[in-house]
Amino acid sequence: MPRFRGRSWAPSARRATDRRPRGRPDHPSRAGSQDARERRVRRPDAERRRWLGLSVRSLAGQVFVLQVVIVLLLIAAAVGELVAQSHHDSTQEARNRSLAVAQTFANSPGIVAALASKDPTAILQPKAQQVRATTGVDFLVVTNTKGIRYTHPIRNRIGKKFVGDISQPLAGHPVTQTVNGTIGRLVQAVVPVFDARGKVVGLVSAGITISKISNVTDRQLPILLSGAILALGLSTAGTALVSRRLRRQTHGLGPAEMTRMYEHHDAVLHSVREGVLIVGEDGRVLLANDEARRLLDLPPDVEGRPLDELGLPGQLAELLRSGSAVTDEVFSAGPRLLATNIRSTDRDGGPPGTVATLRDSTELRALTGKADQARGRLRLLHDASMAIGTTLDVRRTAEELTRVAAPSFADYVTVDLAEGVLLGEEPTPGEAMQLRRVASGGVRDDAPLYPVGQTITFAPSTPQANSLRTGRAELEPSLADAPDWQAQDLERTRQVIDYGIHSLIAVPLRARGAVLGVANFWRSEQPAPFEDDDRSLAEELVAHAALCVDNARRYTREHAMAVTLQHSLLPRGLPEQNALEVAYRYLPAQAGVGGDWFDVIPLPGSRVALVVGDVVGHGLHAAATMGRLRTAVHNFSSLDVPPDELLGHLDELVNRIDQETPAAGDEAAITGATCLYATYDPASRRCVIARAGHPPPAVVHPDGRVEFAEVPAGPPLGLAVLPFETTEVFLEEGSRLVLYTDGLVENRDEDIDVGLERLRGVLAEGERTPDETCSAVLDSLLPAHQRDDIALLVARTRVLRPDQIADWEVPSDPAAVGTVRADVTRKLEEWGLEDLAFTTELILSELITNAIRYATGPIRVRLLRDRRLTCEVSDTSSTAPHLRYAASTDEGGRGLFLVAQFAERWGTRYTPEGKVIWTEQQLEPSWEF
Helix axes 368-387, 394-405, angle to 10 degrees: 160
Q: What is the mean pLDDT of residues 812-840?
A: 86
Cβ atoms within 10 Å of 837's Cβ, excluding its own: 16
The predicted structure's pLDDT at residue 885: 60
The predicted structure's pLDDT at residue 31: 41
C-alpha 771/C-alpha 887 separation (Å) is: 55
Q: What is the mean pLDDT of residues 266-271?
A: 74
The predicted structure's pLDDT at residue 705: 92
Please say whether the beta carbons of 417 and 436 come within 8 A: yes
Please say whether the beta carbons of 646 and 703 come within 8 A: no
C-alpha 311/C-alpha 319 separation (Å) is: 14
Pseudo-torsion of CA 882, 888, 889, 892, nearest 10°? 30
pLDDT band at 857; cut points 50, 70, 90: confident
The predicted structure's pLDDT at residue 757: 92
> Mean pLDDT score of the chain, rounded to an integer?
80
In a 3-state reduction of DSSP, which class is residue 906?
A: strand
pTM of the predicted model as reported, rounded to 2 decimal places: 0.51
Closest CA to 611 of 672, 689, 685, 684: 689
Please say whether the beta carbons of 501 and 522 come within 8 A: yes
Q: Helix H segments across 639-751?
A: 643-659
pLDDT digits 0-9 by tens, 194-216: 888 888 889 988 888 877 665 54
Geometric angle at alpha carbon 466, from 464 and 469, rounded to 5°? 110
Helix axes 394-405, 532-569, angle to 10 degrees: 160
Please say whether the beta carbons of 321 and 307 come within 8 A: yes
C-alpha 412/C-alpha 503 separation (Å) is: 10
C-alpha 698/C-alpha 731 separation (Å) is: 12
C-alpha 505/C-alpha 477 separation (Å) is: 8
Q: How far apart are the first and last CA of the chain?
A: 107
Closest CA to 900 of 886, 911, 887: 886
Cβ atoms within 10 Å of 128's Cβ, excluding its own: 23
Geometric angle at alpha carbon 663, from 660 and 668, rounded to 5°? 70
Geometric angle at alpha carbon 365, from 361 and 368, rounded to 5°? 125
Half-sphere exposure of 916 toward its Cβ, with a 13 Å CA cutoff?
Answer: 20
Is the confidence at residue 261, as pLDDT, over 50?
yes
pLDDT digits 0-9 by tens, 886-901: 554 444 556 677 777 7
Q: Which residues contact 861 (CB under 8 A, 6 or more apart)?
A: 807, 808, 809, 810, 820, 824, 844, 848, 871, 872, 873
The predicted structure's pLDDT at residue 252: 53
Enumerate the β-bridge partners of residue 356.
Answer: 277, 342
pLDDT digits 0-9 by tens, 873-883: 888 887 777 66
In a 3-state reduction of DSSP, which class is residue 907?
A: strand
Geometric angle at alpha carbon 592, from 588 and 596, rounded to 5°? 45
Q: Is the peptide bond preceding residue 407 cis, with omega within 30 degrees of 0?
A: yes
Please say whether the beta carbons of 343 and 276 come within 8 A: no
Enumerate the β-bridge partners of residue 509.
Answer: 517
Closest CA to 847 of 836, 831, 860: 860
Is the confidence at residue 364, as pLDDT, over 60?
no
Closest CA to 640 of 676, 671, 665, 677: 677
Please say whether the beta carbons of 298 and 316 come within 8 A: no
DSSP letter at 171 equals T
Q: In what order do the strands lie in the sheet with 326-333?
A: 285-288, 275-280, 353-360, 336-344, 326-333
Is the confidence at residue 3, as pLDDT, over 50?
no
In a 3-state reduction of DSSP, which class is residue 873?
A: strand
The predicted structure's pLDDT at residue 774: 93
C-alpha 860/C-alpha 848 separation (Å) is: 9
Radius of gyration of the chain (CA): 47
pLDDT digits 0-9 by tens, 437-488: 999 999 998 999 999 999 999 998 999 999 988 889 999 999 999 999 999 8
C-alpha 847/C-alpha 873 separation (Å) is: 7
Please say whether the beta carbons of 509 and 546 come within 8 A: yes
Please say whether the beta carbons of 587 and 786 come within 8 A: yes
Please say whether the beta carbons of 544 and 389 come within 8 A: yes
Over the range 416-426, which residues count as b (16 or more CB within 10 Å of their CB) and which as e?
A: bbbebbbebee
Please say whether the beta carbons of 587 and 789 come within 8 A: yes
Closest CA to 177 of 110, 99, 292: 99
Q: What is the mean pLDDT of residues 118-130?
A: 86
Geometric angle at alpha carbon 120, from 116 and 124, rounded to 5°? 120
Please say whether the beta carbons of 712 and 692 come within 8 A: no
Q: Which residues contact 589 (CB under 8 A, 6 or more apart)?
A: 618, 743, 786, 787, 788, 789
The length of the chain in residues reads 929
Cβ atoms within 10 Å of 349's Cβ, excluding its own: 7
Q: Hey, what amino acid is at 638?
A: S
Q: What is the mean pLDDT of residues 356-379?
A: 68
Helix count (H) and strand count (E) of the chain?
A: 24, 30
The predicted structure's pLDDT at residue 613: 92
Geometric angle at alpha carbon 170, from 166 and 176, rounded to 5°? 50
Please say whether the beta carbons of 594 and 627 come within 8 A: no
Cβ atoms within 10 Å of 149's Cβ, excluding its own: 21
Q: In what order do the strands lie in the sheet with 139-143?
A: 139-143, 200-209, 184-194, 175-181
122 sits in the region (left: phi over 0; alpha: psi -120 to 50; else beta) called alpha
The predicted structure's pLDDT at residue 270: 72
Least confident range of 327-341, 437-451, 679-693, 738-752: 327-341
Is 91 buried (19+), middle (13-18) or exposed (0-12) by CB count in 10 A? middle
C-alpha 442/C-alpha 526 separation (Å) is: 12
Least confident range of 215-219, 386-390, 618-622: 215-219
Please say whether the beta carbons of 571 and 598 come within 8 A: yes
C-alpha 517/C-alpha 146 separation (Å) is: 79
pLDDT digits 0-9 by tens, 695-728: 999 999 999 899 999 999 888 988 867 789 999 9
In a 3-state reduction of DSSP, which class is residue 491?
A: helix
Is the confidence at residue 35, as pLDDT, over 70?
no
Please say whether the beta carbons of 682 and 607 come within 8 A: yes
